[in-house]
Amino acid sequence: MKRDMVLVRKLLDFVEARGARLFKGSIQIEGYEREQITLHLFLLADAGFIELGQDTLADKGPLVLTWKGCDYLEELKAQDRK
């Protein structure tokens, strides 16, 4: 499965809009299947944009937008305004 930067942006926006603590199972993005969302959450965590709680994969642990993730999302929004 290829990295989907549109989904990356939607996930970052979702986490930002819903607050600092979310559970993986609560994230549903229209047009994307659970496995796509899960893969991209791993990619975002690997890049340091989100932090996955210990039990996140079991739909019990939190997702947290990191400082780096906030900065990256701000950069994307700034590009949108140009």
What is the residue-level pLDDT of the chain in tens, covering all 82 positions? 899 999 999 999 988 888 666 666 678 899 999 889 889 988 999 999 998 766 555 555 567 889 999 999 999 999 988 8
pLDDT at 51: 84
**41, 50 in Cβ contact below 8 A?**
yes
- Euclidean distance between CA atoms 59 and 76, whole angstroms: 28
Residue 34: both structure tokens together: 């659970």
How high is the pLDDT of residue 52? 76
Pairwise CA distance, residues 77 & 75, whole Å: 5
Helix intervals (H) in 1-82: 5-17, 34-46, 67-81
